[in-house]
Amino acid sequence: MGDSPKDKHNPNPDLLQSDKLRKYILECSVFPREAEALKEIRNATASHPLGFMEMHPDAGQLMGLVLNLLNAKKTIEIGVFTGYSLLLTALNIPHHGKIIAMDPDREAYEIGLPSIKKAGVEHKIEFIESPALPILDSLLEDTNNEVSFDFAFVDADKDNYWNYHERLLKLIKIGGIIIYDNTLWGGMVAWPEEEVPAIKRPFREAVLSFNKAISDDCRIEIALASIGDGFTICRRCL
Ligand code: SAM
Ligand code: CA
């Protein structure tokens, strides 16, 4: 699923070729260890018309591991939706940790909010109902914010990923991590352009040019992991 033109109508792109393997990974490794509050958000999102936008739980498990390896305390999230990745981050940073989360859609955030409250981690979250760029710019107006964040997760409008990247590189510490989601775009990055549905071409173009730019960026180390819909993990090294 997700890697051939015949799958172009798949609403929830996923790169794994085998449903059985996906089921195995989720049932063996991910769901048994997934926090109850995360399961609740998944269930609450399942009937949402845009529910396919939710983070893939196997990618979430990898992100939790990265947050713990990094001992992340201060983080940024761009693109919250119903809050799966936000709650996952909140559960994997310490009690005094902090997440600045940005999304213009408060209504979607409020779907997951009861589960976030129930998990006892709401105090770690500052949700800002806004597009992310002006918020990042206002953070950068205060020099105390420069080089002060451990981690950022970007899962929003793909055509702004490079704009986010330039700003996040000023905010993240050297050694800090930025993860960009959907960087394999259902496998379409590798399809011949004429086989990509016209409606998806602009997004694919945005992802292709971001992937090229990030590959050329010597300020970071990168790994483009083929998990979920493609997860580009960047470590700031300069
Ligand atoms: N990370 C979420 C999760 O774990 O379920 C999924 C995020 S969803 C793929 C993308 C989100 O990006 C939507 O909720 C949308 O409102 C938000 N978004 C779109 N444009 C944005 C922007 N300019 N700034 C911040 N968020 C934006
Ligand atoms: Ca995503």
pLDDT score at 9: 39
pLDDT score at 6: 39
In this structure, the number of other CB atoms found within 10 A of the CB of residue 120 comes to 12
Q: Which ligand is nearest to the CA of 109?
A: 1
CA dihedral 117, 120, 125, 130 (to 10 degrees): -10
**CB 182 less than 6 A from any atom of ligand 1:** no
pLDDT score at 13: 57
Question: In this structure, which residue's CA is closest to atom 13 in ligand 1?
Answer: 81
- Residue by residue, pLDDT tens for the chain (238 residues) are 333 443 443 445 568 888 899 999 999 999 999 999 999 999 999 999 999 999 999 999 999 999 999 999 999 999 999 999 999 999 999 999 999 999 999 999 999 999 999 999 999 999 999 999 999 999 999 999 999 999 999 999 999 999 999 999 999 999 999 999 999 999 999 999 999 999 999 999 999 999 999 999 999 999 999 999 999 999 999 9
State which of 40, 58, 77, 81 you would mutate to test the pocket of ligand 1, scoring each by most atoms of that ligand within 8 A of its C-beta.
Answer: 81
Q: Which ligand is nearest to the CA of 231?
A: 2
**CB 78 less than 6 A from any atom of ligand 1:** yes
pLDDT score at 40: 98
Q: Which residues, listed in sequence order, are joined to residue 74 by a DSSP beta bridge?
A: 98
pLDDT score at 16: 83
Q: List the CATH number of the domain containing 73.
A: 3.40.50.150
* 69 Cβ neighbours under 8 A, 6+ residues apart: none
- Report the number of distinct structural domains present in the chain: 1
Segments forming the whole domain that contains residue 40: 5-236
**CB 102 less than 6 A from any atom of ligand 1:** yes
Say what the pTM is: 0.94
pLDDT score at 14: 66
* 131 Cβ neighbours under 8 A, 6+ residues apart: 102, 104
Distance CA 216, CA 127 (A): 33
DSSP state, residue 204: H
ipTM of the predicted assembly exceeds 0.90: yes
Q: What does the block give as tokens for 237?
A: 């090294």
* 139 Cβ neighbours under 8 A, 6+ residues apart: 100, 145, 171
